[in-house]
Structure 1
Amino acid sequence: MRTESPGSARDMRGAESRSAAGGQTLLVLGASGDLTGRLLLPGLGGLLAGGTGGGLFLVGSGIDDWSDARWRQRVTESFAAAAATGAQVTATTDSALYLRADVTRPEDLRGLLAACRGPVVIFFALPPAITAKACRALTEVELPTGTRLVLEKPFGTDTAGAAQLNELLATLVPEEQIHRVDHFLGKSTVLNILGLRFANRLFEPVLNAEHVAAVDIVFDESLALEGRAGYYDSAGALIDMVQSHLLQVLALLTMDAPPTVDARELRDRKAQMLRATRLWDDDVRACTRRARYTAGEIAGRRVPDYADEAGVDAARSTETLAEVVLTVDTWRWAGVPFRLRSGKAMSATRKEAVITFKQPARVPDGLTGYDRPDRLRIGFGPDRLAMDVNINGPGDPFRIDPVTLGVDFGPGELPAYGEVLRGVLDDDPTLSVRGDTAEQCWRIVEPVLSAWREETVPLLEYPAGSGGPEDSLLAKQLPFPAPGTDPRAGA
Structure 2
Amino acid sequence: MIERIAVFGATGDLTARYLLPALAALRAAGHLGDRFRLIGASREGWDGDRFREWAAGQLDRHGQAFPAEARNAVAAFADYRQADVTDAADVARVVAGEDPVAVYLALPPALFPHAVTALHDAGLPAGSRIVLEKPFGEDLDSARELNRLLADLVPEEAVFRVDHFLAMTTVQNVLGSRLANRVLEPLWNSTHIAEVEIVWDETLALEGRAGYYDTVGALKDMVQNHLLQLLCLVAMEPPITLGERDLRDRKVDVLRSVRLLTDHDVVHRTRRARYTSGRIGDHAVPAYVDEEGVDPRRRTETFAEVELELDSWRWSGTTFRLRSGKALGRDRKEVAVRFRSVPHLPFGHEGQALPNVLRFQLEPEGLTLDLTGIGSSAQTLTPLSLTARMEPPALPAYGRLLLDVMKGDPALSIRGDEAEEAWRVLAPVLRGWESDLVPMREYPAGSDGPAPRPDEAGQRRSDLLYAEGLPDDAP
Query: How would you bin the TM-score normalised by the shorter chain?
Result: over 0.9
Q: Secondary structure, in 3 states, of the residue corresponding to 1:364?
A: coil
Match of 2:470 in 1: none
Match of 1:412 in 2: 393
Pick one of 314, 318, 326 that aligns with 2:308.
326
Q: Distance in 2 between matches of 1:406 and 1:461?
A: 35
Given that 1:154 and 1:244 are in contact with CA atoms closer than 8 Å, whether structure 2 keeps it comes out as yes
Q: What does 1:56-455 correspond to in 2, within 5 Å?
A: 56-80=36-60, 81-83=62-64, 84-85=66-67, 89-114=71-96, 116=97, 118-279=99-260, 283-364=265-346, 366=348, 368-393=350-375, 395-455=376-436
Given that 2:347 and 2:379 are in contact with CA atoms closer than 8 Å, whether structure 1 keeps it comes out as no
After TM superposition, the runs of 4+ consecutive aligned structure 1 residues lying more than 4 A away are 86-89, 279-282
Q: Distance in 2 between matches of 1:359 and 1:88?
A: 52
Q: Distance in 2 between matches of 1:406 and 1:281?
A: 39
Identity of aligned residues (%): 47
Matching residue's letter, 2:377? D
Structure 1 length-normalised TM: 0.90
Q: Secondary structure, in 3 states, of the residue corresponding to 2:121?
A: coil
Assess, with a 3 A threshold, how the Cα gap between structure 1 residues 117 and 86 changes in structure 2: closer, same or farther: farther
Given that 1:61 and 1:100 are in contact with CA atoms closer than 8 Å, whether structure 2 keeps it comes out as yes
Q: Distance in 1 between matches of 2:360 and 2:74?
A: 37
Given that 1:368 and 1:398 are in contact with CA atoms closer than 8 Å, whether structure 2 keeps it comes out as yes
Q: Cα deviations across residues 70-104 of structure 1 (Å, max 9, x unaligned)?
A: 11122222333223336565444223110101111
Given that 1:46 and 1:79 are in contact with CA atoms closer than 8 Å, whether structure 2 keeps it comes out as no
Q: Cα deviations across residues 26-55 of structure 1 (Å, max 9, x unaligned)?
A: 001011112111222112211221111223
Matching residue's letter, 1:348? R
Given that 2:23 and 2:74 are in contact with CA atoms closer than 8 Å, whether structure 1 keeps it comes out as no
Structure 2 length-normalised TM: 0.93
Assess, with a 3 A threshold, how the Cα gap between structure 1 residues 59 and 177 changes in structure 2: closer, same or farther: same
Q: Cα deviations across residues 353-406 of structure 1 (Å, max 9, x unaligned)?
A: 10111111111253631241111101000101001101113x212211111111
Gaps of 5+ in 1: 1-21, 480-491
Matching residue's letter, 1:133? H
Given that 1:57 and 1:117 are in contact with CA atoms closer than 8 Å, whether structure 2 keeps it comes out as no
The answer to whether the aligner puts 1:53 opposite 2:32 as a matched pair is yes
Q: Distance in 1 between matches of 2:125 and 2:22?
A: 25
Gaps of 5+ in 2: 461-475
Match of 1:466 in 2: 447
Match of 2:463 in 1: none
Q: Distance in 2 between matches of 1:379 and 1:473?
A: 27
RMSD (Å), alpha carbons: 1.8
Q: Cα deviations across residues 125-157 of structure 1 (Å, max 9, x unaligned)?
A: 111122220111122122100010000111001
Q: Secondary structure, in 3 states, of the residue corresponding to 1:140?
A: helix
Given that 1:290 and 1:457 are in contact with CA atoms closer than 8 Å, whether structure 2 keeps it comes out as yes
Assess, with a 3 A threshold, how the Cα gap between structure 1 residues 206 and 188 changes in structure 2: closer, same or farther: same
